[in-house]
Structure 1
Amino acid sequence: MDHIVVIAIVAGIIMLLMLAGAPLKPLRFIGMSIIRVLVGALLLFVLNVIGAQLNLHIPINLITASVCGFLGIPGLGALAVIQMYLLS
């Protein structure tokens, strides 16, 4: 395509978004989800540092960080119980 056509299409999309408004709810949900997963990873790191004395190690990956981030302290406790009693 000609570069003038591409610029016109991009300008049209920008004008449409300025008039109609950008959908902020999906972006807010994605941002909050990422923050929760990061907080979950931080909680798992703290548990691994403290749990080193008790031979408790929970791997930090996307699944465990998501469980811990979305469920909070009960999720962290559930992961610890699963690791201690079911997997050892």
Structure 2
Amino acid sequence: MEPLLVIGVICGLILLVLLVGTPIKPLRFAGQALIKVMIGALFLFFLNAFGNSMGIYVPINPATAAVSGLLGIPGVVSLVIIQMYIL
């Protein structure tokens, strides 16, 4: 593609966003959910670091991070119970 065409399309999209506005609510919701998932992964990291001496290990993946992030400490406890007694 021509560089001038690419720059024109980008400028047009920026102008469109400035005139119409961005949908703030969905972006805010997605950002808050992403932060909660990262906090959940941090919870699981500390659980694995301190619980390793007691034989507690919960793998950190997007599903377990989402459960622990969205549910908080009760989610972490439920993941530990599931890991110890069900799996």
Calculate the TM-score normalised by the size of structure 2.
Answer: 0.82
- Is 1:53–2:53 an aligned residue pair? yes
Q: CA deviation at 1:32?
A: 1.4
* 1:41 alignment counterpart: 41
SS in 2 for 1:46: helix
Note the aligned Cα RMSD (angstroms). Answer: 1.8
- Please identify the structure whose Cα radius of gyration is greater: 1
Letter in 1 for 2:51: G
Distance 1:43 1:3, change over 3 A: closer
Report the count of equivalent residues.
87
State which drifts further: 22-31 or 62-71. 22-31
Going from structure 1 to structure 2, the CA distance change for 1:84 and 1:17 (only over 3 Å counts) comes to same
Deviating beyond 6 angstroms after TM superposition, the runs of 4 or more aligned structure 1 residues are none
Task: Report the TM-score when normalising by structure 1.
Answer: 0.81
